[in-house]
Amino acid sequence: MDRTHAGFHHVQAWMGYFFVAPATFLILVIYAVPIVLVLLVSFTDYTLVSDYFEFVGLENYARMFSDAQFARALVNTLIYAAIFLPASFCLSLVIAIALQERKQFKSILEVLYFLPVTSTLTAMALVWSAMMDSRQGIINNLLQSIGAGPFNFLGSEQLVLVSLAIISIWSIVGFNMVLFLAGLSAIPKGLYEAATMDGADHPLDRFLKVTWPMLGPTAMFVAVTSSITAFKLFDPVALLTRGGPNGASEVFLYLAFLEGFEYFNLGYSAALSLFFLIVIFIFALFQAFFVERKVHY
């Protein structure tokens, strides 16, 4: 009987491996193998215009930290992230709370706010470019009607990162809003009643004492995913500004693309890509381990 039982567990274990194998294989092929290849290429001087390459060790990484273009791209990415992250987080939370309290047309408004998520960012970036045009754009026309502007949103070194952040915020607010709505709907109503009995009559008091603590896990997930999105800025830059004007919108991922597929320095581009992956990983770890300490489950 014991042998039969042990044999059954053995078969179950192998069946588990069998069902997990396809997913494991795909993960290895799609993620692990490319990362290993990028790591290997980053130690070479491989280019797309030559069949010959040789091992150069850490030369690409040494060049990275002495490259003024790399420093500028890193600063531009951090500035963009500093604009994008708090704005997308807070705006999504405010919209979610407003919709949660609303009774009429709630479903219609949810769909309207979520529509940008379903849109193709490439097409929408071109629409935003037309709207932000300094001469015929509808945004400048509205601003001029109240005596402001015109502003060259995508052609000004001071405004280009802000403009790109606005486009990205518009595209992600609906997704984060849905996550916050899910978190809000999971909060027991009894907690609000108990808070009211304890003297938390003002909406701000209820938010600080009930809503925000209970939204901790959702807020952390939104923060981590939004951070990754912030560092992955590429499409609007490639389509609308190409790193301009004067490199003011040349962010990290676009620089890696230029080095690899415009200047054909694939070894250096691989080093940039690997550094980019490490930065995102460290930032996500920081949020997961340090912010999580203040999260109530």
Residue 212: CATH number of its domain: 1.10.3720.10
The answer for residues whose C-beta is within 8 angstroms of residue 133's C-beta and 6 or more apart is 140
> By the 8 A CB rule, do 271 and 252 touch?
no
What pLDDT is attached to residue 283?
78
Q: Total domain count for the chain?
A: 1
pLDDT tens digits, 61-100:
999 989 999 999 999 999 999 999 999 999 999 999 988 8
Rg (CA), the chain: 25
Model confidence pLDDT, tens digit, residues 232-282: 899 899 999 999 889 999 999 999 999 998 888 999 999 999 998 888 888
Q: Binning pLDDT at 50, 70 and 90, where does residue 163 land?
A: very high
* 93, part of any domain: yes
According to the model, what pLDDT value does residue 181 have?
92
- The two structure tokens encoding residue 65: 């930290």
Tens-digit pLDDT profile for residues 200-242: 777 788 888 888 888 888 888 898 888 888 888 998 999 999 9
| Residue 256 domain-assigned (yes or no) | yes
Q: How far apart are CA 253 and CA 258, in angstroms?
A: 9
Residue 229 lies in a domain: yes
Structural domain includes residue 204: yes
Residue 25, number of CB atoms within 10 A of its CB: 10
User: How far apart, in whole angstroms, are the C-alpha atoms of residue 146 and residue 235?
Assistant: 32
Average pLDDT, the chain: 86
Q: Does position 296 have pLDDT exceeding 60, yes or no?
A: no
What are the phi and psi torsion angles at 45 (to 5°)? -105, 35
Domain assignment present for residue 287? The answer is yes
Place of tokens 């040349």: 250
| Contact yes or no for 170/112 (Cβ under 8 A) | no
**CA–CA dist 172, 229 (Å, integer):** 9
Confidence of residue 2 (pLDDT cuts 50, 70, 90): low
Look at residue 113 and tell me whether its pLDDT is greater than 60.
yes
The pLDDT score that the predictor gives to residue 1 is 46
What percent of the chain has a predicted confidence (pLDDT) above 70?
93
Residue 39 lies in a domain: no
User: What pLDDT shows up at residue 231?
Assistant: 87
Residue 50, pLDDT > 60, answer: yes
**Per-residue pLDDT at 102 exceeds 80:** no
Q: Which residue has the tokens 């940039």?
A: 272
Alpha-carbon distance 32 to 255, whole Å?
23
Note whether residue 111 is domain-resident. Answer: yes
The percent of residues above 90 in pLDDT, for the chain, comes to: 36
Query: Is the pTM for the entire model greater than 0.75?
Result: yes
Per the structure, the complete domain to which residue 157 belongs is given by 62-294
Long-range CB contacts (< 8 A, 24+ apart) of 103-106?
none
Tell me the sheet residues that pair with 44: 55
The residues near 54 (Cβ < 8 Å, ≥ 6 apart) are 44, 45
Residue with tokens 């009643």: 193
* 215 Cβ contact list (under 8 Å, min separation 6): 93, 180, 183, 184, 187
Does 173 or 5 have the greater pLDDT score? 173
Examine residue 15 and state whether it is found in any structural domain, yes or no: no
